[in-house]
Amino acid sequence: STNYYSNTGIRKGILLINYVTLLKQWIVNERQHNINRKPITIIFNDIDKKFLFPHTLSEWERQSSPLVVSDIYQELFKKFLDYFQTEMLEVNDPNLKQEADLLKLLIEYKK
Q: For 60-83, write each residue's pLDDT tens digit.
A: 666 777 888 999 999 999 999 999
Round to whole Å and give the CA distance between 37 and 27. 16
Burial pattern 13-41, b for ≥16 Cβ within 10 A else e, equals eebeeebeebbeebeeebeeeeeeeeeee
- The pLDDT-based confidence of 58 (bands split at 50, 70, 90) is low
Q: Which residues are 43's β-sheet partners?
A: 52
Q: What is the pLDDT of residue 40?
A: 46
